């Protein structure tokens, strides 16, 4: 909720947000009279919260949305519900009516979520992160900033206002980018308001101008070559204004390169649109099933680096105000990496994420070069929400098909934790829309004017942004088909289509203006074929509408027509339902809209089926009043009860349910590559320990075929070539294999057979650490392995100097796994008790080795030896492995004396598992790209994002030797 502005004008932005202790003596926000003295739940009046009610039955929504419902008194207790009931079903029916007193007991969440969820140690604070703040900014040097409401995403902004109000118990803070800042100069002085503001656009009529013009404002000047310079004082001025806005506390994120900032906090903003470029050019288009032509990937690399760094700057800004126990809610596709970035730095943070646009099927997502980064970024959240079930199903499927993570209808298992996936169709502020539409004389006047203008005509209304996915062209073609096939409606029906400019960066760059030209051609064609000198069947207005004009248009409509080809949340459909409160006009809605799943009583159409759409237009125009009233009643009930307030509350409630059920589980976060690079550069002595199979190379069916690629060899060679690096490969492989494929790399150390043998960098001599140990156990193990080899076709035995391994990967998976369990039981009962050996189940193998030999002992020995070498431990230690044998290394590092911020223990692989490692990477390719960030090798596969975070800008040159792309548009 908004903080009060101090009289002395102190800068409260830098002061920490007040922490709400559990024993706070002051009145809780949820118990404030402004909350308890008004009805806060639909269909519950004041008598539910007050004793001695006056009996007033005032609805929560204006004009009593629920008027005409069942007025039967609800039972006040379970005993009263049972009294007079004729059956158990009757008791349940009575109790389900939800008496005010019983609902009051169940509404502890709304009053005090901390008391309702004591195990979560909530602070009472909530931080919402969205890409842009709700205001468009105008910069006036040395003066107050100009703030105007930002167009679009009104439902989302309404939810922030609701969470910041005293209707909720939350101390809410909104974090968002400033957006592109306008510094054009007004013709009139700032302190002299114009006679008519920008909101007073030309009224909607046949003679209206195609674009609204503000005669008092100068057109936006082209961007200055040297950017917009903003001083620290002006930044603080904006932060003060946003901190005390009546709609809630807002904290801006300033996006600029470090080279564009000076030591005094001043910044220079250049190419402001770059921060939205990757999201809107790559993600938005692909998520709406549109694919680019392939390129060499250079521009995408730059855009990705900006996207990565932008998410990192959001994380930094959030952590400036975060308190333990805060809830963090992240919104939409611009911030897909933010959940994991926050999880990396605060593992216990409570994080939810909601995607407001569609999520594509795996066939389309796989076309995105950064598909893994995007999915793993989102999986840092505890709860992920989508608009419709199909979007959530696509996401879960992608996590399994792209990442290999196990999943089900409830969510995704990722590294020992469950990420819950749910569907939450967002709503609108129905009460406010209804009040604005029906209680404003200005709207009433425009309604009367429009009805007079189109007297005797049926009015079909469409209002869309001029994006390709909004289906405006499909709508016009369907309307043309309707007029062709149903001639009885000619000159009796008019389509009023309003289009506003697109907000998507990708389509703003449509130099040929193809969409607008297509729409103009269709309008001209239809009016030419079916119009006359006195009548045009299509009235097209390419302009923004004022709020009054928009609501009036929705009120006079006989049909609302929405034909989007792919859409996340279409608020026009919901607003149309509210505005048709009295007239009950049918809603024709594309089945590809995100709202189609929740608006069951709308007329669903396929926008690509022009004949089908035309048929439904005719059916809607011919529909009886009784049917229209029945359909609209259900739609109206849904829209006014499942509003944006209900959406916010249900999303938060679900998050608490998830946190309560998985409170003790912490997922292994994705490797923080920026922290890795920063510590590497700060260290003078570094130790690297790599497993081989599944870490440097992928797991393959035949172990002999797991040879290192040229990329691996070049990367290890470059890394070991730095005299400050000690690089070791610690593997279960034998000496012969490691020496054959990697032995030629100078200064590379080896440990073979899980620590049985060591070969120091620069040496060719292998040290046998188990030469004094009795190997008589091998004869018994060999006999057991041979027995199960005969029982398992395709399996084979690998004999090492100090270990024996039975492989069954080529065998039938079920038979191999079954016989492996039986073999392990037999060995543990015999050899395991008679000898000092351990039986270990690996990935499609079973291995027996001496107990004192393991990778953990090697890791401990290496840390100690390098520490004694110069009198202090390594300042950077990186250890990577993929299976249970590598857990010994992670355990040894966790118990070591090394500072944990200097240690990067990383588990590799897509399996859902508990691990002692502090970080994770998905596959060997990610290992190579991460090493390339440090010291060369395959620099063209390195991720520019973390480097841009460290250096404060996109680096002009990567470390190491650049390898040209083999395929244009290859991995970024």
410 is catalytic: no
Strand-strand pairing, 725-730 and 686-690: parallel
Whole-number Å distance between alpha carbons of 955 and 948:
6
DSSP bridge pairs for 493: 458
Helix (H, G, I), strand (E, B) or coil at 453: helix
CB atoms within 10 A of CB 77: 12
- CA geometry: angle 903, 904, 909, nearest 5 deg: 155
User: CA 291 → CA 182, 360, 509, distances in Å?
Assistant: 32, 12, 16
Whole-number Å distance between alpha carbons of 217 and 203:
19
Which of 672, 691, 734, 882 is catalytic? The answer is 691
Quickly list DSSP for 914-937.
Answer: --S-SEEESSHHHHHHHHHHHH-S
Asked if residues 655 and 846 have their Cβ atoms less than 8 Å apart, the reply is no
* Residue of 673, 158, 617, 184 lying closest to 432 (CA atoms): 158
CB atoms within 10 A of CB 209: 10
Quickly list DSSP for 5-49.
Answer: PPTT---TTSSPPPP--TT--SPPGGGSHHHHTS--STT--GGGT
Is the alpha carbon torsion for 113, 115, 120, 121 positive or negative? positive
Helix (H, G, I), strand (E, B) or coil at 84: coil
User: CA 101 → CA 49, 104, 110, 826, distances in Å?
Assistant: 8, 5, 14, 64
Instruction: Specify burial of residue 626 (Cβ count, 10 A radius: 0-12, 13-18, 19+).
Output: exposed
Whole-number Å distance between alpha carbons of 407 and 396:
6
Whole-number Å distance between alpha carbons of 156 and 134:
9
Q: For residue 869, give every residue at least 6 positions away whose Cβ sits within 8 Å of its Cβ, in sequence order, or none.
A: none
Asked if residues 124 and 114 have their Cβ atoms less than 8 Å apart, the reply is yes
* Residue of 345, 326, 410 lying closest to 661 (CA atoms): 410
Helix (H, G, I), strand (E, B) or coil at 850: strand
User: CA 28 → CA 167, 247, 526, 648, 887, distances in Å?
Assistant: 12, 20, 61, 20, 47
Eight-state DSSP code of residue 722: S
Tokens of 899: 């500072």
Asked if residues 500 and 517 have their Cβ atoms less than 8 Å apart, the reply is no
Asked if residues 729 and 751 have their Cβ atoms less than 8 Å apart, the reply is yes
Tokens of 477: 């073609």
φ, ψ at 664 (rounded to 5°): -90, -5
Asked if residues 158 and 432 have their Cβ atoms less than 8 Å apart, the reply is yes
Whole-number Å distance between alpha carbons of 431 and 645:
10
* Residue of 817, 769, 760, 773 lying closest to 791 (CA atoms): 817
Whole-number Å distance between alpha carbons of 432 and 430:
5
Asked if residues 970 and 297 have their Cβ atoms less than 8 Å apart, the reply is yes
DSSP bridge pairs for 458: 493
Span between the terminal Cα atoms of the chain, in Å: 42
Whole-number Å distance between alpha carbons of 217 and 187:
6
Strand order across the 845-850 sheet = 796-799, 804-807, 845-850, 837-841
Cα 525 from chain centroid (whole Å): 42
- Which residues are marked as active site? 691
């Amino acid at each position: 909720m908004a903080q009060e502005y101090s009289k002395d004008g102190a800068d409260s932005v830098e002061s920490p947000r007040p922490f709400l202790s559990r024993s706070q003596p002051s009145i809780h926000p949820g118990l404030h009279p402004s909350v308890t003295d008004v009805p806060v739940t639909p269909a519950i009046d004041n008598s539910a919260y007050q004793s001695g009610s006056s009996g007033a039955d005032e609805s929560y929504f204006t004009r009593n949305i629920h008027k005409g419902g069942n007025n039967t008194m609800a039972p006040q207790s379970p005993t009263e519900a049972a009294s007079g009931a004729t059956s158990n079903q009757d008791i349940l029916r009575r109790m389900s009516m939800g008496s005010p007193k019983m609902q009051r007991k169940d509404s502890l969440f709304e009053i005090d979520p901390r008391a309702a969820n004591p195990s979560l140690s909530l602070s009472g604070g909530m931080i919402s992160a969205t890409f842009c703040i709700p205001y468009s900014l105008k910069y006036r040097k040395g003066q107050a900033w100009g703030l105007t409401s930002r167009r679009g995403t009104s439902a989302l902004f309404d939810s922030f206002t609701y969470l910041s109000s005293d209707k909720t118990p939350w101390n809410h803070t909104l974090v968002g980018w400033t957006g592109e800042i306008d510094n054009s100069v007004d013709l009139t002085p700032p302190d002299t308001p114009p006679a008519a503001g920008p909101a007073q656009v030309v009224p909607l009529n046949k003679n209206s101008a195609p674009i609204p013009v503000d005669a008092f404002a100068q057109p936006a000047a082209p961007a200055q070559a040297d950017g917009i310079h903003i001083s620290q004082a002006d930044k603080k001025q904006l932060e003060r204004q946003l901190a005390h806005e009546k709609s809630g506390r807002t904290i801006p994120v300033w996006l600029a390169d470090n080279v564009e900032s000076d030591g005094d906090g001043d910044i220079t903003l250049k190419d402001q649109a770059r921060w939205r470029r990757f999201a809107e050019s790559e993600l938005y288009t692909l998520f709406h099933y549109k694919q680019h032509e392939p390129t060499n990937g250079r521009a995408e690399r730059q855009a990705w680096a900006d996207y990565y760094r932008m998410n990192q700057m959001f994380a930094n800004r959030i952590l400036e105000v975060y308190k333990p126990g805060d809830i963090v809610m992240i919104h939409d596709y611009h911030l897909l990496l933010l959940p994991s970035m926050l999880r990396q730095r605060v593992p216990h943070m409570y994080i939810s994420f909601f995607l407001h646009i569609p999520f594509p099927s795996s066939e389309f997502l796989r076309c995105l070069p950064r598909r893994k980064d995007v999915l793993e970024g989102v999986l840092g959240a505890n709860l992920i929400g989508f608009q419709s079930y199909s979007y959530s199903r696509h996401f879960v499927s992608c996590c399994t098909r792209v990442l290999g993570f196990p999943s089900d209808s409830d969510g995704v298992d990722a590294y020992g934790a469950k990420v819950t996936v749910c569907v939450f169709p967002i709503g609108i502020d129905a009460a406010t829309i209804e009040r604005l539409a029906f209680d404003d004389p200005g709207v009433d006047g425009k309604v009367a004017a429009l009805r007079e203008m189109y007297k005797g005509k049926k009015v079909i209304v469409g209002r869309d942004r001029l994006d390709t996915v909004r289906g405006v062209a499909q709508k016009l073609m369907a309307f043309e088909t309707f007029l062709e096939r149903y001639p009885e409606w000619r000159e009796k029906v008019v389509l009023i289509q309003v289009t506003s400019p697109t907000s998507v960066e990708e389509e703003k760059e449509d130099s040929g203006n193809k969409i607008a030209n297509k729409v103009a051609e269709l309008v001209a064609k239809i009016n030419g074929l079916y119009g006359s000198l006195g009548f045009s069947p299509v009235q097209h207005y390419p302009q923004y509408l004022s709020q009054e004009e928009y609501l009036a248009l929705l009120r006079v409509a006989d049909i609302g027509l929405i034909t989007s080809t792919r859409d996340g949340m279409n608020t026009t459909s919901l607003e149309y339902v509210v505005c048709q409160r009295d007239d009950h006009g049918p809603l024709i809605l594309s089945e590809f809209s995100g709202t189609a799943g929740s608006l069951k009583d709308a007329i669903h159409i396929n926008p690509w089926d022009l004949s089908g759409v035309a048929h439904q237009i005719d059916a809607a125009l011919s529909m009886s009043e009784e049917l229209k009233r029945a359909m609209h009643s259900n739609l109206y009930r849904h829209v006014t009860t499942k509003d944006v307030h209900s959406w916010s509350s249900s999303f938060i409630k679900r998050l608490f349910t998830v946190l309560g059920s998985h409170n003790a589980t912490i997922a292994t976060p994705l490797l923080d590559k920026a922290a890795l690079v920063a510590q590497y550069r700060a260290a003078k002595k570094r130790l690297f320990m790599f497993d081989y199979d599944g870490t440097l190379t992928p797991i393959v069916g035949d172990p002999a075929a797991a040879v290192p690629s040229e990329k691996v060899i070049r990367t290890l060679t470059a890394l070991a070539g730095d005299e400050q690096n000690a690089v070791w490969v610690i593997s279960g492989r034998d000496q012969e294999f490691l020496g054959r494929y990697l032995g030629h790399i100078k200064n590379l150390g080896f440990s073979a057979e899980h620590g049985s043998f060591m070969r120091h960098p620069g040496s060719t001599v292998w040290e046998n650490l188990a030469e004094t140990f009795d190997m008589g156990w091998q004869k018994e193990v060999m006999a057991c392995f041979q027995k199960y080899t005969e029982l398992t076709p395709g399996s084979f035995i690998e004999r090492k100097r100090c270990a024996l391994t039975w492989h069954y990967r080529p065998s039938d998976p079920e038979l191999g796994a079954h016989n492996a369990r039986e073999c392990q039981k037999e060995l543990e009962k015999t050899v395991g008790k008679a000898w000092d050996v351990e039986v270990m189940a690996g990935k499609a193998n079973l291995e027996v080795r001496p107990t004192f030999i393991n990778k953990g002992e090697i890791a401990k020995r290496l840390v100690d030896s390098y520490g004694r070498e110069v009198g202090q431990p390594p300042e950077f230690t990186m250890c990577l492995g993929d299976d249970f044998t590598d857990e010994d290394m992670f355990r040894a590092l966790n118990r070591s004396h090394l500072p944990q911020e200097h240690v990067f223990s990383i588990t590799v692989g897509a399996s859902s598992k508990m691990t002692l490692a502090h970080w994770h990477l998905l596959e060997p390719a990610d290992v190579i790209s991460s090493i390339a960030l440090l010291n060369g090798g395959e620099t063209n596969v390195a991720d520019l994002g973390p480097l841009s975070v460290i250096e404060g800008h996109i680096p002009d040159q990567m470390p190491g030797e650049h390898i040209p792309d083999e395929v244009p548009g290859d991995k970024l």
